Chains A and B, each alone.
Chain A
Amino acid sequence: MKNNARKPVAARIDWLVLFLYIILVLVGVAAVYSVEYTSFSEPFFNFSKSHMRQLTWFVISLIFGLIILLTDSKFFYSVAYLLYFIGLLLLFATFAVGSNVKGSHSFIKFGSFSFQPGEVCKLFTALAIARFLASSETNFKTLKDRLIGTAIALVPAVIILAQNETGLALVYFAFFIAMYREGLPNAILIGGFLIAGLFISSLLIKQWPLFFIITGLALLIVWFGRRQIRRSPLLLIIVISTWGLSVLFANVIVPFTFKHVFHAYQVERIYSMLGQEVPEDFLQPGETPQGISDYNVRQSKIAIGSGGLLGKGFMHGTQTKYSFVPEQNTDFVFCGIGEQFGFLGSAGLVLIYLVLLLRIIYIAERQRSTFSRVYAYCVASILFFHLAINLSMTMGLAPVIGITLPMLSYGGTSLLAFSIMLFILLRLDADRQMLIR
């Protein structure tokens, strides 16, 4: 095993991950090409076309990857915090110099090149969390360190939320998966699910019935647990405070957020996903439902569903090719694959992603250093969140939240961010026998 470290980096990197990465990027280029393709007479090498741009970004990403592979793995450990703070500064900078793209204020423009700090900040946050958990002073069993970890993950999320990029902000919750691996209590995840459940039921059930249901549940718990409560009155306090918090959340916070924080289109998307009309209570004054908010999802479902078992064949999609699906190069890139390659192709793609995720977990678990392991988990979690939200959205299982499909979606920043993320993982994995401090 010791000999391993002396071998060149090329011999020590995980070729499977690299292989899957390249396949996914090329599938993305093909998807973009097939949608924009009009006739054979057009030259393939046309740099005004999206597929050539994406290929260019792929080459840039590979160059970055090469540089990363030639860098010392300790470098990433040492600059983790620095990068994190640079990331935060960039996020703040968008408020000052950011330009408005599609209603969100999260892009920085350098000439014709626009760049989204939120995408890159994921990577920095992953490094920072890895470094924090790997440091010898950190004891993740203490509440203080758990709160610090949470803060590292959520500070960028809050800033991004303020920039109106709900989807991107949501991704930062992915770090809880990594932190869960490192010892975050089960209760937090259970609590998270509870809040999600409460959130959805507060949308589906009217306020007063919901209040009675929550109260009834609390009373039932008190009744069945009356012996334990008699033994320790603290439990009663916990139950009552949980009840109070639930009622506060369901009857005050959710309606408030819907009325005053969310935009009308976001409210409509969430309700259309649940198959409901927006209730009058949640309509913001002066705004009327547009009634077309499910157009994207409907077209996306039609495109994917019409693919059938084997698909319509490469470049023979009708729905994606003729622009029935909005944003079909970026967030809805999966539609093109679903339509052209059918169930076999799209399920195959999901399986490729699954193999990639499981491989990263495998890589994570074989690391000697905590830094590398936590980082690997962060990467897996980010990929997982992106996949879960993006694919569910295109299939009509989740509300439409602008979030890319890793490696496939058209867009330079996104591709570059995921590439760097994976190449750092490969670099760290190449030194898996080392203890990086």
Chain B
Amino acid sequence: MSSINQNPRPWIIRLVFLTLAVILIGRLFEMQVLDNKYKIMANDQAIIKKTIFPPRGIILDRNGVSIVTNALTYDLVVTPAKIQDFDTTSFCRLMNITPNQFSETLKKIIARNGPVRPSVFTPYLNETENARLQENIYRFPGFELRAHYSRSYPAGIAPHVVGYIHEISKRMLKMPRYSSYQSGDYVGISGLESVYEEELRGQRGVSFIVRDVLNRPRHEYMNGELDTPAIAGKTLKLYLDAKLQKLGETLMQNKIGSIVAIDPKTGGILAMVSSPSYDPALLSGGDFSKNYSRLSQKFTRPLFNYATQAQYPPGSTFKPVDAVIALDLGVITPKFGYPCRGGYYACGRRIGCTETWAGHAADLELALAWSCNSYFCDVFRRIVDAQQWKGGVHEGLQKWHDYLYSFGLGHPLGVDITGEYGGNIPDSAYYNSVYGNYWNSCNMVTDGIGQGEVTETPLQMANVVAMIANRGYYYTPHFVQSIGGNPRDPALAKYLIKRQVTHVPYSVFTPVIQGMEDVVKSGTGRIAQLPGIAVCGKTGTAENYGIINGQRVKLDNHSVFVCFAPKDDPKIVIATVVQNAGYGATWAAPISSLIMEQYLTDTIKRAALLERMEKANTIKNYIRVIDSFQRQKDYMRYMLKTANNRTRDSIRRQRDTMLVKQILRDYYRIKIPKTSYLKAIQHEE
């Protein structure tokens, strides 16, 4: 071999080769080891983060029958800012829309959600659209298909209980409760869906997916090591009995009102019917807005939950409660009687009583059985005017109010669906404000028979009877038995607390319950008898008024019935209200009785009664009139509320126009005739 001295050129060539290797390795070291930016760039273009939506928790009845389940559907979601090199014509052909519709929809989306946030372009794709898009979606950057579960209702019952889910609204997004949601997410809006949102939604998963140059997902990144799996929402098991609920809804068709059935031992709601009802599937799926507005415009207001939101005067069903308070205070004994012959005259006016024969109020049991108004007006006055009240009637009424408050009246009970109302139990402060401190027990004597200022929701009616049936305690009524199989879930903690009613001894309830049994056995509610079962109940016929043409008009009575059975081991408590239907014994009592029969014996033997109740229509025409007046009033109220804004806007517009006019005149010497600028404004609007 030649040495360097002999011929340096082979060595120079070797040096050149070596230099190249050093340069290349140096460059590789810089790119692969020192510089991090290529890794970031690679991840940016090859790895996409995908949110996996878990299936929402399903809802089962007490026997495991599905009430709410899931169906997988796809939405077409667009991020306007990511649209580029877009082939509008083929997209429109695929989606079967015109290019005009396309740009209009896109404009609307940008106006509503801005260009950066992903928004739903077409919700609830049908199967063909979905199949076509799945294959071609990579051709439309900026568009993606988002799978989500929509709700399906195999039983088609209890829409007011389960509520519905819908895309989260802008207003909800601002609430701290929904801080983890994004626009386009679905969220429970009402009912159980809303109250148990946290339990039902499950936990979202994230998966990192490697995509190829055509934007098609290819495989999991790092074998899914960084992924978090989606956790399905928890199953809600209810106390609700689907069969019972279905029966209740059938019985209540063509009637306005509600049925609430509670298991008094747990506070579990066995059925909650609000009538008129609707198919819950109407509010799930693509036609939400159409169906929603149609439902909300019906004069019978099917979206209103008549079981928790309607507040009725309880009527005579209030009488056992009065009796409990009076016995506890010792102002009467079970033997106390009142000589009623068809009216109560002690307050200087007649308060009528249905029964006129002597002795129908000879003692407490008889008075309950025959629902004597005079007797309970007297009892009420004895309660509020009792001698032990040093503060007189003010203190007495307040005590009466406090009793009722502890019975769960006058305030929302805290049932686990949304929008519950509290009813009304007036207190001394209220009458002070009405009568200016000068009032006595005669002013509100009708409160004692469940009229006057007293209102209750059907749920409260049922709950207070449950308290009596339990002889002194109740559990807050609720629907959910267990969450994900766990009956002691923290979300259910408040429903496991026994609500012991203020110091009312057990013995007080015996005569009251006896009286309620007599109601069914021999009194006003005989239609509710069930062979071999000791049924206790109380009818109610609640007077009520509506406003027509600005005048307070007496309407048909509400038919009310509360009951529980069996007497000594109560398994079910029912409260039924049929609006403007008449006597409690004619409508509410048989309906309650049928429900009870179904629940306790699992059959209905009185087919004729069932058929008669199912077919009856008690909706009065004046409801339509009252409703339209109400809507008018609401509209006026709304206009008044927004009047300021509208005035402000119109003034602003006028000022702008005048400014423009002035500028045109002063700077450009253009005179605008009055008519044309008016046209301009109109056009602008």
Contacts and interface: CB of A to CB of B under 8 A. Distances in A.
Interface of A: 177, 180-181, 301-309, 318-319, 321-324, 338, 342-343, 346-347, 350-351, 353-354, 357-358, 361-362, 364-366, 377, 380, 384, 387-388, 391-392, 395, 397
B13 interface: yes
Interface string B25-54: 101110111010111011101110000000
Interface in B653-675: none
Contact of A395 (B1, B21, B24, B45): B24
Contacts of B35: 305
B32 A305 contact: yes
Contact of B9 (A180, A304, A322, A354): A180
A350 B21 contact: yes
A391 B213 CA distance: 23
Given A350-B21, A395-B27, A305 B9 contact: no
- Name the residue in B1, B13, B28, B33 with the highest tally of chain A Cβ atoms < 10 Å from its Cβ: B28
Given A319-B42, A322-B211, A347-B25, 17 more contacts: A177-B16, A301-B38, A302-B42, A304-B38, A306-B38, A306-B41, A322-B213, A323-B212, A323-B213, A324-B46, A351-B21, A354-B21, A361-B10, A377-B13, A384-B17, A387-B20, A395-B28
B71 interface: no
B210 interface: yes
B2 interface: yes
Contacts of A395: 24, 27-28, 31
B29 A304 contact: no
Nearest to B27: A395
Nearest to B43: A306
- Looking at chain B's contact residues, the main secondary structure is helix
Contacts of A342: 32
Given A318-B42, A350-B21, A395-B24, A308 B33 contact: yes
Contact of A324 (B1, B43, B45): B45
Interface of B: 1-2, 9-10, 13-14, 16-18, 20-21, 23-25, 27-29, 31-33, 35, 37-39, 41-43, 45-47, 210-214, 218, 221
Given A302-B42, A309-B32, A361-B14, A181 B9 contact: yes
A392 B24 contact: yes
A14 to B, nearest CB: 15
Given A303-B42, A358-B14, A361-B13, A384 B20 contact: yes
A423 to B, nearest CB: 22
A181 B17 contact: no
Contacts of B29: 343, 347
- Looking at chain A's contact residues, the main secondary structure is helix
B48 to A, nearest CB: 11
A387 B19 CA distance: 13
Per CB-CB distance, the 6 closest pairs between chain A and chain B, nearest first, are A305-B38, A322-B212, A306-B42, A343-B32, A318-B46, A354-B21
- Name the residue in B27, B42, B211 with the highest tally of chain A Cβ atoms < 10 Å from its Cβ: B42
Contacts of B218: 321-322
A391 B24 contact: yes
B24 A343 contact: no
B45 A357 contact: no
B584 to A, nearest CB: 73
Contacts of B39: 305-306, 308
B641 to A, nearest CB: 57
Contacts of A308: 32-33, 39
- Name the residue in B16, B31, B46 with the highest tally of chain A Cβ atoms < 10 Å from its Cβ: B31
